[in-house]
Amino acid sequence: MTKRAHIVIGLGFGDEGKGLTTDWLCGQALARGETPLVVRFNGGHQAGHTVATAAGQRHVFSNFGAGTLRGVPTYWSAHCTFSPGSVLKEYASLRAAGAAPRLLVDALCPVTTHYDVLYNRALETARGAARHGSCGLGFGATVERHEHTPPRLYAQDLRFPTVYGHKLGQIRAHYRARIRAETSFDFDQLDHNAEDRRFAEYARELSRLHAEGIIQFVAEAAVFGPGAPWQTYVFEGAQGILLDMDFGLFPHVTRSRTTAANALALLRRNHPALAAIAEIYYVTRAYHTRHGAGPLPHEAPLSLINTAQETNQLNDYQGHFRAGPLSTELLNYALACDATFSPGLPKHLLVTCLDQLPDGLLRCWHDGQLQKIAPTALPELLEADFASCRFSFSSHGSGLE
């Protein structure tokens, strides 16, 4: 059977509906009799991808792929950070809901520690009104530590207590110095030994699950090589192109490549033929959103309905969930950024949350004017030749038309 690759990308500042799209693509693969695998290729546990089923089941995915409710396993690539405590908490939640999650973790994933989270929050708090919009979960701190400093901790290290214990000591010393130099927070007021012991408990539990084949540490080649059992790879992007570390509006960006670049790099290294036929699924809500500090052009109150289950809520680090009309300029900019990496590949457009529009019409800034347009008119205003366009009128994938 011919293999397939689908790459799901957000065209905004995140929260576009990538979880819904990933779940739907997994459902399509299963219906064709294929064996799918979800691949996370950027970001970390700061993602929040909501999946709802027609039967009323609902889960917000952060550490597992959005196909999990369908029984589809997840590969957590080395482009992602790995948070042991967060993974175990979500695993317990999924098991309690009757799911059977399975996670393949690249052995070289950078591990987020409690020290990364502490530094992230202390620094963001110290910025005051100049905050960057961080989630406060340590993602960017983990990436920076791995890229620019010696104390590195990998997923494979979690099976070796002597190794991760030594590295935690190095990481503690690293952040003690940074927090003292960059903030007024008293690093030594906390019981770091107790947190280290909690981290060790997480590592022991992960080792147990590894032995049972539930959460495994694997090499990249094993996931994409000739003997791999998956026929369909669904690459689930995190955040959106307008937050990309290279293309977003600095400094309010993520330390992550949110275009198709990482996904295509994985394929080109391991399965060049599949990289040449991968299909891109671009996702946008029926309006722009932003959760966190940073510019949101044309931000304005919107009259929306059916928002009772909105996942994004006020929190200490990101503040309020913000919204505004769509901007074809921003959508076309995002498409242009990704076109650099995906020339010649089939492109698809998905517009979500259309059930939240009281009159069914998009509010859209185009050519300097705010217009009301039918959703089906949007593709004509965008600078891409879409192979298909789909519209979601419900909170679950079966609403895609």
DSSP assignment string, 234-279: EEE--S-GGG-TTTS-TTS--SS--SSHHHHHHHHHH-HHHHTT-E
Nearest CA among 55, 53, 64 for reference residue 94: 64
Q: Which residues are catalytic?
A: 15, 49
3-class SS at 324?
strand
* Annotated binding residue 188: no
Cα–Cα distance for residue pair 242/383, rounded to 1 Å: 16
CATH number of 114-210: 1.10.300
pLDDT score recorded for residue 311: 65
- 186 is known to lie in a ligand binding site: no
pLDDT of residue 312: 59
pTM, to two decimals: 0.93
The fold of the 4-108+214-399 domain, in CATH, is Adenylosuccinate Synthetase; Chain A, domain 1 (3.40.440)
Cα 241 to the center of its chain, rounded Å: 11
**What letter would DSSP give residue 255?**
S
Consult the annotation and say whether 237 binds a ligand. no
Low-confidence ranges of the chain (pLDDT < 50): none
Q: Where are the domains of the chain?
A: 4-108+214-399, 114-210
Asked if the domains 4-108+214-399 and 114-210 are classified in one and the same CATH topology, the answer is no
Residue entry with tokens 């205003």: 381
**Structure confidence at residue 48 (pLDDT):** 87
Q: Which two tokens stand for residue 217?
A: 């540490």
50 is in an annotated binding site: yes
Instruction: Note the pLDDT of residue 81.
Output: 97
Residue with tokens 């003997």: 227
The confidence score (pLDDT) of residue 306 equals 84
Tokens representing residue 230 in the block:
């998956």
